[in-house]
Amino acid sequence: MDILTRIVNDKRIEVNLRKQLIPAKQLEQLALFERDTVSLASKLRESNTGIIAEHKRRSPSKQVINHDLNVFDVAQGYENAGVCGMSVLTDGKYFGGSLDDLLTARASCNLPLLRKEFIIDEYQIIEAKAYGADVILLIAAILSQAEIKQFSELAKQLHLDVLLEVHNEDELHKSIMPSIDMLGVNNRNLKTFEVSLETSKHLSKLIPNDFVKISESGISNIEAIKTLQPYGYKGFLIGENFMKTNNAGDSAAQFIKDLQL
C-alpha cells in the first residue's frame, strides 16, 4: 500500500470521528465561519514573486523538519517577509499539524491561508472555513472527477479559493472545471518521492490560462523559480526550505529579496 492510500484510509476514520464529535451545523456557528475571505489567486496574479510559504513540522519523506518553531512566529514572520500566502498543514499523524495551527495562524496574520489537508469529505471544507482558511487544497490523485466538482463547488459557495493539485496528465484532464481557481503541479512523485521540475514544465503547456499556475515541491532555490516563470507559473509553494532554518520568516524575507534582484 503506498503512502497516499495509507494517509487516505486513516483520514476517513479520523473524519468520521470528528463528525460525531462536532456536527457540521456546529462548525457553522463558529465566529470565523462568517469572516470575509481573502483571495490567494488574486494576490498571485498581481505578484512578481508568488511565494506561498508553508508551516510544516514533519513529512513522511523527511520525518522531522522542525518541531521548535511556533506557528505564531512563523505566520508573523512570513507576513513581514512579504509572501503572497501561507500554507498550514493540518494533518496530525503524518505531518504533525492540527486545526489549532490554522486558528493560531489566522489570529497572527492577515495573509490568505491555505488549509493543506487530504480532503475526502465535504465536512473538511466546512471545517476549513470555520477555522479561518481562505483556500482549500484538493488532490486529484485521491478524488474522482465527481468529487472534485462537488468539493470545489461547495468551496466556491463558501467563498473559498480552490487549489487543485495534479501530478500527471490524466489527473489534469479530469480536473479542469470552472470551480477551480489555481492548478498546482506537484513535482514530487507520490509513489517514489522523487522530485523533478520537468513535471511542471511538461504540464504547463496543458493548463489553460484561466487558472493560476502553481508549482509545488522541490523549489528550494531562486534558480528553480526563474526556470519556471517563463512557463507561466505565478505561484511557488515552499515548505521545507524555510521551515528547516531557525527563523522561517527571516529565511523567507531573504529568499524574496534575492528573487527580486
Indicate which residues carry an active-site annotation.
Answer: 54, 56, 116, 165, 186, 216-217
Beta strands at 182-186 and 63-64: parallel, antiparallel or unpaired: unpaired
C-alpha cell at 99: 486545526
Q: Which three three-digit cell numbers place residue 52?
A: 506561498
Cell readout for 193 is 518521492
Which residue pairs, CB below 8 angstroms and at least 24 apart, start in 165-173?
165/137, 165/138, 165/139, 165/140, 165/141, 165/216, 166/140, 166/141, 166/203, 167/140, 167/141, 167/199, 168/199, 168/203, 169/203, 169/206, 171/140, 171/141, 172/140, 172/203, 172/206, 172/207, 173/206
CB 240 within 8 A of CB 65: yes
State how far Cα 173 lies from the chain centre: 20
Instruction: Rounding to the nearest 10 degrees, give the CA dihedral for residues 109, 114, 119, 125.
Output: 60
**Cα 196–chain centre separation:** 19
